[in-house]
Amino acid sequence: MRTCQGVSPRGGGYGGPVATAPTLDTIRTAPKVLLHDHLDGGLRPATVVELAEQIGYCGLPSTDVADLEAWFRAAAASGSLERYLQTFAHTVAVLQTSSALHRVAAECAEDLAADGVVYAEVRFAPELHTERGLHLDQVVEAVLAGFAEGSARAAATARPVSGRIRMGCLLTAMRHAARSREIAELAVRYRDAGVAGFDIAGAEAGFPPTRHLDAFEYLRQQNSHFTIHAGEAFGLPSIWEALQWCGADRLGHGVRIVDDLVVAPDGTVKIGRLAAYVRDKRIPLELCPSSNVQTGAAASIAEHPFGLLAGLRFRVTVNTDNRLMSGCSMSSEMATLVDAFGYGWSDLQRFTINAMKSAFLPFDERLALIDDVIKPGFAVLVG
């Protein structure tokens, strides 16, 4: 194990003084990068009601928009990942037509742009949207077209930060199913059309990522990017398999890497071999604070490992996971972390650049967004 001296949640003073502390309103004006967001977890509540009516879906717990929104948040805050995932039965049920997928993807791009997100990778599982006869290619094409339309509509607003967004998507295979190779091939087939990479998701316990080794081997052979949901509801073995057996580029959540850290009463931290590997290799952690509290991966935002991991200089990124279920946005997640750990603008810029460095984009395009959009946007705010 490695030993580090005491660290503060802010990272030992890396943030530095700022003219004005970040607030929710000012954070909305900052350029942000989102790597972990689920399409079927970010619908507008009113859209869920309207789509259900259009297709005759009668399973919603309420057709009142405000009541439905409150239900999603309450049902997701169960402390269990398995129960959290049950809320998706309703959103997936209304996303079974090309028009519905197109609409939700367009609204997703608009909503993220309005929140100041300049680059986003939004994931979805094509295999979950074929119950009414759509083929996998039709699902992907509908979402990509929706992202393009929503991005164009957002750009027409001509606001300084919001309105300019680049959308990519990750195709997700369900870890309890047996279609991962098929979805991996789909991701490669559409990688020049807007698909940034591949992912697996679903309940971790009992469904290790090594069940899908053929998909990951194929992706590596094709020089394709992929992330793996790991270290959310299940611990270090899930992370170890995702990295050392499957070769993941990023960890979806990865919050349980904290299990490999031992914090002494004097603040000294001993870092285990797996955690040291993750930090040394700069493996990105797609942390989703509010979602992690809802699923029981963290007891509260104040006790979330984000502060410790950021202080130890792991490559932490801020993400929403499911905006509908968690009732959050990128701005609100950052504001929550500011309140919990006292972060300033320099900290938020670091987390944003961490995310942009870790995006599944060509190097020159990542660099251009950092130098031409992110750094200038934060320079105005730092003062």
The tens-digit pLDDT sequence of the chain (383 residues) is: 677 765 666 544 334 444 589 999 999 999 999 999 999 999 999 999 999 999 999 999 999 999 999 999 999 888 777 777 789 999 999 999 999 999 999 999 999 999 999 999 999 999 999 999 999 999 999 999 999 999 999 999 856 555 689 999 999 999 988 999 999 999 999 999 999 999 999 876 677 888 999 999 999 999 999 999 998 877 899 999 999 999 999 999 999 999 999 999 999 999 999 999 999 999 999 999 999 999 888 899 999 999 999 999 999 999 999 999 999 999 999 999 999 999 999 999 999 999 999 999 999 999 999 999 999 999 999 86
Q: Is 275 exposed, middle or buried (0-12, 13-18, 19+ CB in 10 A)?
A: buried
Distance CA 351, CA 337 (A): 11
β pairing state of 269-271 and 261-263: antiparallel
Residue 7: the pLDDT is 63
Residue 85: the pLDDT is 78
Angstrom CA distances, 119 to 37, 112, 190, 288, stand at 12, 9, 19, 17
Domains of the chain: 2-382 (3.20.20.140)
* Catalytic positions: 232
E strand intervals along 164-226? 166-174, 195-201
Q: Contact 200/228 with Cβ under 8 angstroms?
A: yes
Q: Is 160 exposed, middle or buried (0-12, 13-18, 19+ CB in 10 A)?
A: exposed
Q: Is the pTM of this model over 0.85?
A: yes
Terminal CA-to-CA distance of the chain, rounded, Å?
Answer: 41
- 43 DSSP assignment: -
Distance CA 75, CA 45 (A): 14
For the chain, the residue count is 383
Distance CA 279, CA 288 (A): 18
Grouping H, G, I as helix, E, B as strand and the rest as coil, residue 313 is coil
